Chains A and B, each alone.
Chain A
Amino acid sequence: MEVEYVEDREDKIVFIIKNVPVALVNSIRRAIIGHVPTMAVDYINVYMNTSFLYDEMLAHRIGLIPLKADIDKYNFQDKCECGGEGCPNCQVSLRLNVEGPKTVYSGDFISDDPEVKPVYDNIPVVELYEGQQLMIEAVARLGTGKEHAKWKPVSICSYKIIPKIEISDCSLCKACVEACPRKILEIKGEKIVVNDILKCSMCMECVKVCEDNAIKVEETDNYLFTIESISMPAKEVLKRAINILKNKAVEMNEILKHINS
């Protein structure tokens, strides 16, 4: 197993992971999308809404605002001591009290916990005109992407196989060079060379047009993984996902100990 970073920023990482089974890579992807918890608005209490948007529309728009939070500080509501009723350990209220004329932005919310706040302050929620007013309490809690996409910690999370392209007995007809939609094949001297293998989408167009069956595109155990995160660093998302998988295995073994065979 080897990991090599192609891009390494706080909010986006692209890395090559070598010699691992596809089951592991796919499980990590699924764990990131569906199991890493984040904070998002669950429901809103509307005390006053004279804007042009219906309450439901507002609820939907507010729900999709990504929130930054220290997620280890909060409990999942169904595992909290309060028994799911809602308490300061498992939920946060964000209040909005604005009057038009004004465009309401995500930054206008006043949070009970100053650490829980929108990732960006400039997401428009609704435009208010003269005399229109909004009085809303938005209640945020922890959730996972399995429940609703608003709890996903990432915007992009995908992997693809890095193929191996082999060329032998080539007649240099150039058909594959022209057929490749990503333009990664090139004639250099007496040979076809692959310029950027990471760009190859395995569309097999080059194999289809090659009349001599000279080119082969094969799957490997190497993957290019891309994560673009929203509310926490991309590496942290990855680490949390791997830990989730690990804890599941540990938990299952714990349970199996008590099953005598």
Chain B
Amino acid sequence: MDVKVVEIGNDYVKLIVKGEDHTFLNLLQHYLLEEEGVIIAKYNIPHPLVGEPELYVKTDGTDPIEAIKRANEKIVKVCDELLSKI
């Protein structure tokens, strides 16, 4: 994984998440949308083989990077919970 910032502002961020695909990004998008303050969370894969996925997050003013961090922490928590149950 490699993350590059394309655009960033107070309430939005556009990242390129190199080397990822639907497997992780769809999960991240789901938990981002659950996050309070997130208005738009969307990823786009321009080409399935050579494309570098873009992730766009728009919030109502809360720090978008912090929102992504919180969503990732939620993924870690859910994974840990699931691991303890199998």
Contact = CB atoms under 8 A, between A and B. Distances in A.
Interface string B1-35: 11101001000010001001111101111110000
A261 B8 contact: yes
Contacts of B28: 249, 252
Interface size classification for chain A: 20 to 34
Contact of B86 (A31, A239, A246): A239
Interface residues of B, number: 36
Given A24-B27, A253-B69, A261-B13, A1 B82 contact: yes
Given A24-B27, A34-B23, A242 B83 contact: yes
B38 interface: no
B26 A23 contact: yes
B68 A30 contact: no
B52 interface: no
B65 interface: yes
B5 A3 contact: no
A21 B82 CA distance: 13
Give 10 closest A-B pairs by Cβ, nearest first.
A23-B30, A246-B79, A249-B75, A249-B72, A30-B23, A27-B27, A261-B65, A3-B85, A255-B3, A248-B24
Interface of B: 1-3, 5, 8, 13, 17, 20-24, 26-31, 63-66, 68-69, 72-73, 75-76, 78-83, 85-86
Interface of A: 1-3, 15, 17, 20-21, 23-24, 26-27, 30-31, 34-35, 146, 235, 238-239, 242-243, 245-246, 248-253, 255-256, 259, 261
